[in-house]
Amino acid sequence: MSRRVAVTGLGVVSAIGADQNTFWHNLSNGVCGIRHRTITADEDLSFELPIAAVEGIDDRLAGLGRDVARSDRFTKFAVLAADEAVADSGLEFDEALGARTATIIGTGIGGQSSLDEGYFNMLRKGRRPHPLTILRIIPNAPASHLAIRYGLRGPAFAISSACASGAHAIGVCADLIRSGAADAGLAGASEAALTFGGLEAWRAMHILSDDLCRPFSKNRKGLVIGEGAGVLVLEEYDRAVARGATIHAELVGFGMNADGKDMINPAVEGAAGAMQLAIDGLNINRPEAVYINAHGTGTLMNDPTETRAIREVFGAGANRLIVSSTKSMHGHLLGAAGGVETVAAILALEKNIIPPTINLDEFDPDCDLDYAPNEAHARPLEFAISNSFAFGGLNAVLAFRKPA
């Protein structure tokens, strides 16, 4: 028989808060973490771009211990978020639990800053790469560091599926617990790709905004890249109840599929299919009690496609939903998007407050749902859904319910 999955710990690092409380305060108050910055490689290589960078936490990152301090920025983010999630959960990983705990941390890019630094040192300065470059770059570095840090000996690996990485990691970890292959897990994703080389590659695609991220607004111009991490502690539900844990939410649905059509252009059928898989059997008869944290990238193609997919799944009930895109505040965290946005969705569910879609100032007839424009909405909630739709046509959707 399938086992239930509880969320007992939340940890987050983002441009609008590098801890759960700050993140929620800024998220619910519509604080924008996007700033114009000069991206510089050296004195003759620079450009300006709006980004959502994590700032003011260098001392915290340096204090994570010698091994982590020598790792890439995306690993440091993951460890910082995981430490918060573990402390929040109250879990203690003894010998027995350590052997039954999974560690699944996703990333879309991996150690981009270490990769950039290595190539720059070789090609511009004639220096050899740092001896730890490979260990910094590899996508499984956060999962491995966390397994070592907490003595976790269950399944441990990375998932890399572009912008669906975080949602895939959380959903797969939950499936391991449901099946009995694990009793607990650290799951989420991390990304730190705000480097000269990484952002030049994004600029080459011509899909970046030159001002703000404006999901679902007719004057939207594209993505704003952010960085950060979101990590959850998942547990077998009865075990969490037995130890008296505070349960933030129950993970009740996970849908994943592939469009099988195009590397860039999203498909309504794929997004709708993943959402339907996530909510099958949940008996959602009050759409007004459902919050959808949308993928909501602010691109011309994604936003109307996602809107149509939501309407296909919920029918007339879509008019009673509230949907929002928190990317308008913390930017698009690429592989970490699903991790951070899952934390946002769970906090919204827990607090009965739907964070706004800020910068939405022009109605688009192709985006005609209630997106909580510019102000948070208070509403009693029963379910929260987090959508993640990635390049390559990869879709992952998570559904959460308030604990019984």
| Residue positions annotated with a catalytic role | 163, 295, 332
Q: What angle do CA 220, 225, 230 make, to 5 degrees?
A: 120
Token pair belonging to 77:
């983010």
**CA 1 to the chain's CA centroid:** 30
Give the Cα separation of 284 and 397 in Å (integer).
Answer: 16
- CA distances to 68, 103, 309 from 213, in Å: 32, 32, 21
Give the closest residue to 199 by CA, choosing from 53, 80, 77.
Answer: 53
Q: Burial code of 56-94, b = ≥16 C-beta within 10 A, e = fewer?
A: eeeeebeebeeebeebbbbbbbbbbbbbbbbebbebebe
Q: Which residues contact 233 (CB under 8 A, 6 or more apart)?
A: 7, 8, 9, 10, 85, 86, 88, 89, 91, 184, 185, 186
Give the closest residue to 329 by CA, choosing from 61, 24, 76.
Answer: 24
Which residue in this structure is represented by tokens 């993970």?
251
Cα radius of gyration rounded to whole Å, the chain: 20
- Cβ atoms within 10 Å of 128's Cβ, excluding its own: 9
- Cβ atoms within 10 Å of 2's Cβ, excluding its own: 9
